[in-house]
Structure 1
């Protein structure tokens, strides 16, 4: 029986008070098994990114529970949490310190966690994302958007986490570069035994990386489905069907020339 790596029960996240009170997430429950990739999809404002931020402690939890490998997640998050869970953000330029070299960016988490053999770890992490040692001493502004996102992925992997949270990791990239990053993420999950929770509004992106998908609307889960169900159009909820119709040309199989490999 597979291990439940992440368990979220009746999660609620609210912002503001009184008349400004906003319920961003209401009663969300989900499970992620070890080695699995789960997609959270929905329109802007559906609460999908807020779920990731609640897991990492970046959004206030108003109710419910979050468990990691069977243990309750504490507030504030401890060092052990960040050894197990890392996050890759949407905008690689904004998430990387502009005045730090790639070497400094990757060395920082290793120093915080007092990890030995930092040099070897950095070189290995860069190689895993397809960047050579020459990239160590470049600054973010000297890299392309795809290279910056590879550095962000390397930073997430350098501590050897089990779970990586991906918040729209390709939406700020050109289509051809998106394909490269998606194939990279799929290869890394397979080779390193990672688990993913991927947030995206792009059904094709989520279906490429994820076996199972959770559809959110207005802070709630409206349907849990699979990539195969999206391909065949056998989804149950009307909102999910609307999303499929809005995704013109959506297909489980990548378009010719995209560089994507079928899952």
Structure 2
């Protein structure tokens, strides 16, 4: 479903992503993990069409991506951002936030779709006409997830979707994403600095350091401690220290 080959990303004179390649099968959830500044979120934003300064090849569903994306791409591929408050328009109600993608893509039956979207992310009907500031952080991220899914995409890009939430809410949102992924047969790329989050949702993951992928391994290999690269081993050791 997703093919990335020899991707390089530049911000002016800064070379922030260096010659990375990976693929994601249809229905798979693939993780990108690394420390802050490793380039993982840059990769996700470049796939989404938010970073124009790149070289290499990117393809979704067999179609090569160029610097500009058409409307069909944005119906197929949607993104959930790290900060649910910053990604939602503060002066729009939840109803308006969810109706807008339907209008953009010319999708009818907005009333039923909005009601279903709220139900899918376990938000009460009373949330529909509230503004983002009237919701909790977890509720706002549920709205962001509902907005991403309301036009029925097949690919979901998740940029640290739980890191801005309270620890007590993080597991709820991760379990929701897991259920939605299975129910909708979504292909996902999940970016996180947290190996526990990656292991919870991803079948495979790539470890990034300094803009490069240093290792790709399966979730089973991660749990068994069979990482080969020293940086991956350091991340695993750090995650155990934090848990302890």
Tell me if both proteins adopt one fold, taking TM over 0.5 as the criterion: yes
Match of 2:156 among 164, 188, 200: 164
Which residue number in structure 2 is paired with residue 12 of structure 1?
8
SS in 2 for 1:107: helix
Equivalent pairs counted in the alignment come to 244
Structure 2 matches for 1:227-242, cutoff 5 A? 227-242=219-234
Does the CA-based 8 Å contact 2:38-2:208 persist in structure 1? yes
Which residue number in structure 2 is paired with residue 141 of structure 1?
133
**How much has 1:249 moved relative to structure 2?**
5.3
SS in 1 for 2:240: coil
Q: Show CA shifts across 1:147-181 (max 9, x none).
A: 00000000000010000000000000111100000
Does the CA-based 8 Å contact 1:89-1:166 persist in structure 2? yes
Aligned CA-pair RMSD? 1.3
SS in 2 for 1:93: coil
Match of 2:209 among 217, 228, 231: 217
Which residue number in structure 1 is paired with residue 187 of structure 2?
195
For residues 123 and 23 of structure 1, the distance between their equivalents in structure 2, rounded to whole angstroms, comes to: 45
- Pair 1:43 & 2:32 matched: no
Does the CA-based 8 Å contact 1:204-1:250 persist in structure 2? no
For residues 220 and 179 of structure 1, the distance between their equivalents in structure 2, rounded to whole angstroms, comes to: 29
SS in 1 for 2:112: helix
SS in 2 for 1:150: helix
For residues 184 and 249 of structure 1, the distance between their equivalents in structure 2, rounded to whole angstroms, comes to: 27
**How much has 1:240 moved relative to structure 2?**
0.3
SS in 2 for 1:30: strand
For residues 185 and 175 of structure 1, the distance between their equivalents in structure 2, rounded to whole angstroms, comes to: 16
Question: Segments of 4+ in structure 1 off by > 2 A?
Answer: 248-251
SS in 2 for 1:12: strand
Q: Show CA shifts across 1:102-159 (max 9, x none).
A: 0000011111111100111111111100012221100000000000000000000001
What is the TM-score when the length of structure 2 is the normalising length? 0.97
Unaligned runs of 5+ in 1: 256-263
Q: In structure 2, do the counterparts of structure 1 residues 249 and 228 end up closer, same or farther at CA, with 3 Å as the change threshold?
A: farther
Unaligned runs of 5+ in 2: none
Which residue number in structure 2 is paired with residue 86 of structure 1?
78
Q: Show CA shifts across 1:207-252 (max 9, x none).
A: 000010100011100000112112111100001001111112578x
For residues 242 and 155 of structure 2, the distance between their equivalents in structure 1, rounded to whole angstroms, comes to: 28
What is the TM-score when the length of structure 1 is the normalising length? 0.90
For residues 250 and 193 of structure 1, the distance between their equivalents in structure 2, rounded to whole angstroms, comes to: 33
For residues 34 and 249 of structure 1, the distance between their equivalents in structure 2, rounded to whole angstroms, comes to: 35
